[in-house]
Structure 1
Amino acid sequence: MKFRGWLLDVDYEVVNNRPLIRMWCVDDTGRSAVIFDDSFEPYFYVVPYGDVPMSQLQNMSEEVGGELIRPVKIDIVDRKNFGVPIKCYRIFTQLPRDVPYLRELALKFGDVREADILFGVRYIIDKRLIPMGGIEAEGEPVPIDYAGSGLLCRSPKAVAREDEPPLKIMAFDCEMWNPRGMPDPKKDPIVIISIKTNDEEKVLTATDESDKSLIKEFIQYVKDYDPDIIVGYNQDGFDWPYISERAKKHKIKLSVCRDGTSPMFGRGGLQRKTKLIGRLNIDLFQVAQRDVDGVKIKTLENVADFLGVMKKDERVNLFAADIYQYWADEEKRGELIQYAKDDVSSTYGLSEELLPLQFEFARMVHEPADNVSKMGRGRQVESYLAYIAYEYGELIPSRGGEVETYLGGFVFPPVKGIHKNVASLDFSAMYPSIMITYNISPDTVCKDCNVECYPPAPEVGHCFRKEPEGFFTRILRSLVSHRSALKKKLALMDKKDRDYKMLDIRQKTIKILTNAFYGYTGWAQAKWYRRECAEATSAWGRYFIKKANDIAQAMGLEVLYGDTDSLFVTLKDGGRLPDITSAFIKKVKEELPLDMDVDNIYRSIFFTESKKRYAGLTSKGEIVVRGLEVRRGDWCELAKELQSEVIRIILEEENPEKAVKFVKDTISEVKEGMVPLDKLVIHKTLTKGVESYESAQAHVKAAERAREMDMSASVGSKISYVIVKGPGGTLSERAYPVDMFSKFKDGKLYAKDKTYELDAEYYVDKQLIPTALRILGYFGHTEDELKGKGVQGTLAQFF
């Protein structure tokens, strides 16, 4: 029997006290399949301390649960340790679960390597497989009842494919009964589960008081549709754990995994993780947190609006605290159902925007897509390195070592104020280019310089040998070359072509991964951590940007601001900026081992006195904002919208007086209670337990009050609160969770047993005026003026 299709995931089960690898696949028609391999054995390496006899390792044993765990076999293999050939022991175990026990015993005999690689990932690495890539296999058919077909094959092969797998994707979202604000899974039932797939949109609703039948209907839907991928928005942190708790309450097995098992729950840092056997479970909230720039408060509505999936004003918007009221009122229930449909449609739409990049990362770093979707950039780089290390015979280093800080990129302080006719220029892939140019890699660090080395890095003096080419250098050169070839191919293609989009995602994936290498070498948790690499790379970066500044000055350009790998320049004495910048870029390329491109031309740009904080109007009429309060999360939405409009008026209309009037009008609306409550909510994340905070911060006090009302406020939760009037001397005493209020009208907030008054003065003095003055202060406007008195400035004096 032959199989050709796509690999989604790899795991294992234990059969007859031996691990049985399961490769979860789909064929070219989209039919599910599982390829089994019963021949693969778990193992790890030991680099011995001196002359350690093999017999000492063979005699290692530990009794666990009445069973004696010991090595199955040991062999001696040739490997490389930071490029240096060595011999080491490879220790095989009976089961993957035996590895941690034997690893601890082996530590006294040598340096233990690669004992923390998951068994499924180990198989992918050793068999050179490609998750979300093609796979071929030939072997004996295996009867199974949880997939379309089964096959026993000990030698599957990866196959390069340019087409995309025919996947069944299912998005879901839950609405809960929440009379206390944040619903409690021990008390509050699920009332709606909305679903959207490749084929249909469906809303499941509770038909009894307990939600038991609703959960059973949801489980059956998953079984019948049999999705390859399930997506949600914060389903790992909320929906899956909630459904699980409700299922336990009703003594229902949550058998939504492909093999009929229940989800497995874990945690990585502050994030919860949910694993579905045989299906890829991808939390788009976690993806958005890492991959979507430009949205600070990453609610489903905000991200969907930002990516053009569903505009906020085109969907039903409800307060979360009101959901139970809409469910209880039959006249309003239809609006709640539409709200649920909009949520799941937004989620499915986000999957179409965000999943292609996750698929490409899976192919590149050789880990299943649900794994890479939850990884930070450092972990993605490390997974890629682990795959390549096997190919080169390099042992993966042990994590550890003393971490030291080092100096980063150089900054030319911004010339504050407004400037016209400005070009922003970027060094293309500065750090990867530097690492390639000077062979900067963990295995090329030259301590005694008794071999031929490149010149020492400026300021820090670290040297790197010229030959042989380093482990990182070879990888980076290959990645840069691959991306360059893709970009040349893209230049010849029509942007409307579907293949164009896929190739563009591929080149962006390579760019992201390549640019992460430098930071990875200085990352405290990196297995290939090497401070000298990070320190030398940033030192060369500082040297080159200073050299570029010297060239700019000599050519009549003024550097208004520079940071790490970018420069903002204008002409000192007039002339055609495009012509001079083109000549400047050509000169830089001639004198420095780096490439440079024009990032943007600004008709006008406004710099504050701080780095990474500016706003500009491009020659295409787009407004670019970096680092100002408008992008921060501890300001209410109204403050951010106000500052965005002030920036627009200043840059597009060059009319600060109009901007001042807009601020004054907004202040009046707040004082008169005319602004919707959702514009006044402040969001902040609990980064540790409430009891761990030494000072009484506003969001911490709001979290305490939420807990008192049986609302969730755990580590990692986004606390949404408002400030009310009251006798409390501190701000925190007047911070209340927004979900406790059922109504807001004319400045009054209505809770279950009490009415509060919004503190309009706080919002004016601490939210609106500070964000407005961050811009208008540079034009001579003052707080008194924004409150109705004072003298206006003029724009002309700032050009």
Structure 2
Amino acid sequence: MPFSIDFFDDGRVLEWEATPDGAVATEREDYTPRFYVAPRNPDADIDLTTLQSVYDPHPDVVATETVARRPSFRRDEETVLAVDVTHIDRITSLARQARQLSEYPVGDLACFNVDFSQEFRYCLEEDIDPTPASELSTLRLSVPLTESSNDSYGELSVAGDTVTGSQSDILSAVVTALEVHNPDVLVCSTSEIVPTLYEMATDAGVDDFSLSRWPGVDYQQLARRSTYSSYGRVGHSPARYNVPGRAIIDESNTFFYGETNLDGVLDLVSRSKKPVQELAWASIGNVLTAIQICEAHDRGVLVPWNSWRHEFYKSMGTLHDADRGGFIFAPEVGLHENVHELDFSSLYPNIICTRNVSPDVIRCDCHDRDDVPGLGYSICDERGYLVDVLQPIIDARDEIKAKIRREGNRDDPNEDRLAELEGRSGALKWILVACFGYQGFSNAKFGRIECHEAINAFAREILLTAKQRLEAGGWRVVHGIVDSIWVTPNPDVADDGREDLETLATEISDAVEIRLEHEAHYDWVAFVPQRESDSGALTKYFGKEADSEEFKIRGIEARQRSTSPFIEDIQRACLDRLDTTRSPDAVLGRLERAITELRSGTVAVDRLVERNRVSKPLEGYTQNTLNVAALKRARDQDLAVHPGQDIEYVVVDNEKSSRDRVALAHEDINAYDASYYEVQLVRAVESILSPLGWDRTDIRRELDGSRVVGITNWS
């Protein structure tokens, strides 16, 4: 089966199949992509022959025909117009014409199967599984930041070897690597490497340079670079390129390859029908949608171009009850001994499957029941399509996790096999994580807000059931959020009156039909208060795993991507001290030594590098933040840093307000601002000691020898 598919302007399509001896191309000239048009309202009396008469003579239309399809999961088969198109690039413009015809009132017609990515469309329409039949060979090309905005590279990493020199030297190294590795996949630190290498070849007069496997076509630009916003977070989407015969994975624009590995990518390729290149740059929601589209296609259901699902009517009281999130049991701030963490396995996906929560069956017309607790929504007895989408993924991940445990328990585990299994498990995990939130996403092809509300309602009931049963069994809940509960033995219950935790978990699992797993046992867990409040922060905690040297850390500086290695190392050292001594004084002693090291100027500057995401263009900032100073330095050096990308720097003089506050990580840095990093150190140690009642003021006073100790400090 083809692992990569190329499209040319003249309508030709190339299917590339991986074999042990290299990729083999099959050329096709008869592919005609298709979209559909149907009445938006099933009860509307709309004649499609007028539309057909418009399309038939159109030069970009190959043929039209009326066929029976389901315009949505809640509609039966109807007569719709199928339009076969000469080229995949013509679909959107032709579909737009259907919605603009004066012969039909605005909004009467809806278009379907329009906005598919090109390789995915081809695999869906031609019933092709793009999972490679043989192992894919790869070649990695990487360029340092200092070269990334240059029109010509003086340094390039080729298959792990750094190559420097003239344009001809670098191009020669790339050509040699292509011959040696014959890669099916080019893994690039940035996709801009592709056009830049061709520009270098032109400048150097190297006429025979090519990354392509198909003569006469070097590369194609598929999309320009862009900036986007998702859930309040700015992202950068680089330009995308295609090289015939090879899939490109852009490390600056890939989620699944970055979070898992090539095995994780290939697992999702087989489930989504998105070939490697498209899967690599796709978002979680994009891949989840593709899997849903495959299920819809199998059921004869068309995919709407734009989502137009209205929200079902609900009373103000129901809206109030429905507009709530998952279960939250506020954490008890402090350090708790002998804590157990219990997690429901894939809670939200399993709620969808065990309760049949799906957009096509929620609040059905055939039942009038109170199936959803607290909301009164009915759920049809007919199996929803979303269950058929998610259940195979849940089962597959459970099976993979079991294999990981078996492999990991072997005396001589196969590390390559473990990496493969962990990559696949990680990829499936992200799909399961996103499936709940996507039901409330306004642009989801098949989502419905009532599903989102129902899943939360079931989750709240399940967690409350678990909490009540655990407490009845002699355990005290110290924290609970969404799908996890932390418990410790209730001191008011005698040991012989307390029920076994594993037995309780099994009983709860049977009662709610979702497995409650014993995730971990901790010698102790500390829940951190909010910065400006005594209330517990929901996602900030740390603890020492029992019978292990490992700590579990969530939310504090050591887990934050912007934290410098030095601050992270000191915070982890303070955790070790707290575990060994349970003494704030011992933690402060470690802090004092770190401050002394900072002030002496002996900390290596590469351990002080901070990494922050750029949220907007330089001109869009109104405050002189550290990011702004770093962006100004980058601009002075002609470095391209776009919104959504990271920038790395060391703070050298935080008292200044100009670009001299920082130095970029690649610069020659001789000094740093010790006072700035001292503040960061104190903040990090505050996270460790705040569960014990210390704040940064107490820490400063203790360091200065002026802290007033009250009677409560010894309780």
- Pair 1:75–1:770, CA change in 2 (3 A): same
Which position in structure 1 is the counterpart of 2:32? 41
Which position in structure 2 is the counterpart of 1:78? 69
CA drift of 1:482 comes to 4.6
Could you tell me which of 377, 380, 385 is aligned with 1:462?
377
Which position in structure 1 is the counterpart of 2:678? 764
Could you tell me which of 690, 699, 704 is aligned with 1:783?
699
- Pair 1:113–1:402, CA change in 2 (3 A): closer
Could you tell me which of 72, 91, 98 is aligned with 1:99?
91
Which position in structure 2 is the counterpart of 1:396? 303
Q: 2: CA distance between counterparts of 1:396 and 1:514?
A: 22
CA drift of 1:475 comes to 2.5
Q: 2: CA distance between counterparts of 1:242 and 1:406?
A: 51
Q: 2: CA distance between counterparts of 1:397 and 1:39?
A: 26
Whether the 8 Å contact between 1:602 and 1:619 is mirrored in structure 2 is yes
How does 1:703-722 map onto structure 2 within 5 Å? 703-722=631-650
Q: 1: CA distance between counterparts of 2:399 and 2:256?
A: 30
Q: % of aligned pairs identical?
A: 21
Which position in structure 2 is the counterpart of 1:56? 50
Give, as a single letter, the amino acid of the residue that structure 2 aligns with 1:281.
I
CA drift of 1:514 comes to 3.5
Bigger drift between 770-779 and 361-370 goes to: 770-779
Q: 1: CA distance between counterparts of 2:397 and 2:561?
A: 35
CA drift of 1:84 comes to 2.0
Could you tell me which of 123, 129, 139 is aligned with 1:170?
139
Could you tell me which of 154, 157, 174 is aligned with 1:194?
157
Whether the 8 Å contact between 2:2 and 2:132 is mirrored in structure 1 is yes
Whether the 8 Å contact between 2:291 and 2:389 is mirrored in structure 1 is no
Which position in structure 2 is the counterpart of 1:568? 486
CA drift of 1:431 comes to 1.1
- Pair 1:79–1:688, CA change in 2 (3 A): same
Whether the 8 Å contact between 1:603 and 1:619 is mirrored in structure 2 is yes
Bigger drift between 123-132 and 478-487 goes to: 478-487
- Pair 1:656–1:736, CA change in 2 (3 A): same
CA drift of 1:47 comes to 1.3
Give, as a single letter, the amino acid of the residue that structure 2 aligns with 1:668.
T
Which position in structure 2 is the counterpart of 1:257? 212
Which position in structure 2 is the counterpart of 1:329? none
Q: Deviations over 1:294-341 (max 9, x none)?
A: xxxxxxxxxxxxxxxxxxxxxxxxxxxxxxxxxxxxxxxxxxxxxxxx
- Pair 1:114–1:440, CA change in 2 (3 A): same
- SS of 2:467's equivalent in the other structure is helix
- Is 1:735 matched up with 2:661? yes
Which position in structure 2 is the counterpart of 1:542? 460
Q: 1: CA distance between counterparts of 2:479 and 2:460?
A: 14
- Is 1:407 matched up with 2:399? no
Q: Deviations over 1:537-577 (max 9, x none)?
A: 01211121112111111111100100100100011126389
- SS of 1:59's equivalent in the other structure is helix
- SS of 2:465's equivalent in the other structure is helix
Q: Deviations over 1:497-546 (max 9, x none)?
A: 67676566545544443343222212233111211111110121112111
- SS of 2:261's equivalent in the other structure is helix
- Is 1:7 matched up with 2:2? yes
Q: 1: CA distance between counterparts of 2:496 and 2:545?
A: 16
Q: 1: CA distance between counterparts of 2:401 and 2:126?
A: 30
TM-score by length of 1: 0.76
Give, as a single letter, the amino acid of the residue that structure 1 aligns with 2:237.
Q
Whether the 8 Å contact between 2:340 and 2:522 is mirrored in structure 1 is yes
- Pair 1:31–1:792, CA change in 2 (3 A): farther
CA drift of 1:654 comes to 2.8
- SS of 1:464's equivalent in the other structure is coil
Q: 1: CA distance between counterparts of 2:176 and 2:570?
A: 48
Whether the 8 Å contact between 2:571 and 2:684 is mirrored in structure 1 is yes
Which position in structure 1 is the counterpart of 2:343? 426
Q: Deviations over 1:25-66 (max 9, x none)?
A: 122x23221123333311101112534433322333699xxx
- SS of 2:212's equivalent in the other structure is coil
How does 1:498-509 map onto structure 2 within 5 Å? 502=420, 505-506=423-424, 509=427
Give, as a single letter, the amino acid of the residue that structure 1 aligns with 2:241.
T
Q: 1: CA distance between counterparts of 2:310 and 2:594?
A: 49
- Pair 1:636–1:514, CA change in 2 (3 A): closer
Q: Deviations over 1:561-597 (max 9, x none)?
A: 0010010001112638996211221231243232211
- Pair 1:170–1:563, CA change in 2 (3 A): same
Whether the 8 Å contact between 1:702 and 1:736 is mirrored in structure 2 is yes
Whether the 8 Å contact between 1:664 and 1:786 is mirrored in structure 2 is no
Which position in structure 1 is the counterpart of 2:262? 355
Give, as a single letter, the amino acid of the residue that structure 2 aligns with 1:122.
R
Which position in structure 1 is the counterpart of 2:318? none
Whether the 8 Å contact between 2:474 and 2:499 is mirrored in structure 1 is no
Whether the 8 Å contact between 1:439 and 1:469 is mirrored in structure 2 is yes
How does 1:579-658 map onto structure 2 within 5 Å? 580-608=500-528, 609-621=536-548, 622-658=550-586
Whether the 8 Å contact between 1:62 and 1:101 is mirrored in structure 2 is no
Give, as a single letter, the amino acid of the residue that structure 2 aligns with 1:584.
L
Bigger drift between 500-509 and 704-713 goes to: 500-509
Whether the 8 Å contact between 2:345 and 2:515 is mirrored in structure 1 is yes
Q: Deviations over 1:726-784 (max 9, x none)?
A: 764x5x6653332584241xx4xxxxxxxxxx33222212x111111121234355232
CA drift of 1:669 comes to 1.2
- Pair 1:235–1:464, CA change in 2 (3 A): same
Whether the 8 Å contact between 1:605 and 1:616 is mirrored in structure 2 is yes
- Pair 1:632–1:401, CA change in 2 (3 A): farther
Whether the 8 Å contact between 1:62 and 1:69 is mirrored in structure 2 is no
- Is 1:277 matched up with 2:244? yes
Whether the 8 Å contact between 1:779 and 1:798 is mirrored in structure 2 is no
- Pair 1:62–1:452, CA change in 2 (3 A): closer
Q: 1: CA distance between counterparts of 2:181 and 2:195?
A: 22
CA drift of 1:488 comes to 6.5
- Is 1:774 matched up with 2:687? yes
- Pair 1:111–1:627, CA change in 2 (3 A): same
TM-score by length of 2: 0.84
Q: 1: CA distance between counterparts of 2:655 and 2:163?
A: 47
Q: 1: CA distance between counterparts of 2:181 and 2:539?
A: 48
Which position in structure 2 is the counterpart of 1:131? 130
CA drift of 1:422 comes to 0.8
- Pair 1:637–1:557, CA change in 2 (3 A): same
Whether the 8 Å contact between 1:174 and 1:194 is mirrored in structure 2 is yes
Q: Which runs of 5+ in 1 are unaligned?
A: 1-5, 135-164, 293-352, 748-757
Q: 2: CA distance between counterparts of 1:220 and 1:38?
A: 33
CA drift of 1:372 comes to 1.4
- Pair 1:511–1:11, CA change in 2 (3 A): same
Q: Deviations over 1:352-390 (max 9, x none)?
A: x72111111111211112221222211110111112211
Structure 1 vs Structure 2 CA RMSD: 3.3
Whether the 8 Å contact between 2:39 and 2:46 is mirrored in structure 1 is yes
CA drift of 1:652 comes to 4.1
Whether the 8 Å contact between 1:664 and 1:788 is mirrored in structure 2 is no
Which position in structure 2 is the counterpart of 1:751? none
How does 1:133-148 map onto structure 2 within 5 Å? 133-134=132-133
- Pair 1:797–1:706, CA change in 2 (3 A): same
- SS of 1:543's equivalent in the other structure is helix
Give, as a single letter, the amino acid of the residue that structure 1 aligns with 2:525.
I
Q: 1: CA distance between counterparts of 2:333 and 2:95?
A: 58
- SS of 2:650's equivalent in the other structure is strand
Which position in structure 2 is the counterpart of 1:214? 170
Which position in structure 2 is the counterpart of 1:303? none
CA drift of 1:90 comes to 0.9
